Structure 1
């Protein structure tokens, strides 16, 4: 597996795990500083909150890729297969539209931070940079949703897109095993 393929498969995990380490170090540092040295660290709260936001948005993209977002599949599976497929198409189409809409709104939001720079109180960094996660997160979600449909189509467009095979196996994992 090439490095690029590995990064494509594990990008969200890498970001989420890094953010969780940053959160843990920041919070632990604050606890030790306060209770052992009776000193408050001014950077820890801001660092932890920025890392949490990044972890949430990249985690949402990870959920899209792994198909972990909540769907009411009992109702969908109760429908005739053709109608169920259309319901999934409609839901995913609305989801994709929402992601595109949010990318557009986020770009406008970032433009304001670019034109009128604002620095964070504790770290003193331009707020434009941590806020880029809005564009990155929604773009990643959209890309992962598109990848689900590309993979479904490559697998013969059987069943519902992004769902497990009838035998419970993961078509994405099956495809990677053949690489």
Structure 2
């Protein structure tokens, strides 16, 4: 099972890295759009009408994709004070319950995001000239990645492989499936 999980980890590492690069690129693009708007408005005394809705749309992409990568990499906030006094077996169960809740949340993002996407598909964003559904693609995509990455964390834990947790030092090669899990410390 660990060999299969290592292959899955390699795939999700590629997906996560791509999502992270898209998020970073989106942040740079949004910053450039806002800077252009400020320049046009205050220096040229004119306005670019598409920068505000365009930057909000790009912001949705980098927020939701970046949040999903944060779940995979273990960088999301958590309340660990209670966990510090728990035995290791209880910690594993609590981490798994947390990942199950994230799967449910991601499923809700997909379900309700898709409903919003369908309801706004016929609307046009006036300054961009595209369907209003584009505003909700990041919600659905981010929810999908949340589900995928959280399911990976659950499967890794079930296979006895480590999962990243904020503040812990775990070999990134093992998280990405490049090093067998038995060569690094156990999860927790």
TM superposition score normalised by structure 1: 0.81
Partners of 1:93 and 1:46 in 2: CA distance: 34
Q: Which has the higher contact order (CA 8 A, sep 6+)?
A: 2
The aligned residue for residue 81 of structure 1 is: 88
User: Equivalences for 1:108-147 in 2 at 5 Å?
Assistant: 108-114=115-121, 117-147=122-152
The aligned residue for residue 38 of structure 1 is: 45
How far residue 71 of structure 1 moved from its aligned partner, in angstroms, is: 1.0
Partners of 1:137 and 1:35 in 2: CA distance: 35
SS at match of 2:154: helix
How far residue 79 of structure 1 moved from its aligned partner, in angstroms, is: 0.8
User: Equivalences for 1:1-179 in 2 at 5 Å?
Assistant: 7-114=14-121, 117-154=122-159, 156-157=160-161, 161-163=163-165, 168-174=168-174, 176=176, 178=179
Unmatched 5+ stretches in structure 2: 1-9, 181-188
How far residue 119 of structure 1 moved from its aligned partner, in angstroms, is: 0.9
How far residue 9 of structure 1 moved from its aligned partner, in angstroms, is: 4.1
How far residue 164 of structure 1 moved from its aligned partner, in angstroms, is: 7.3
CA RMSD of aligned residues (A): 2.5
Partners of 2:93 and 2:158 in 1: CA distance: 15
Instruction: Give the direction of change, closer, same or farther, for the CA distance of 1:91–1:106 in structure 2 (3 Å limit).
Output: same
TM superposition score normalised by structure 2: 0.78
Partners of 2:128 and 2:166 in 1: CA distance: 45
How far residue 174 of structure 1 moved from its aligned partner, in angstroms, is: 3.3
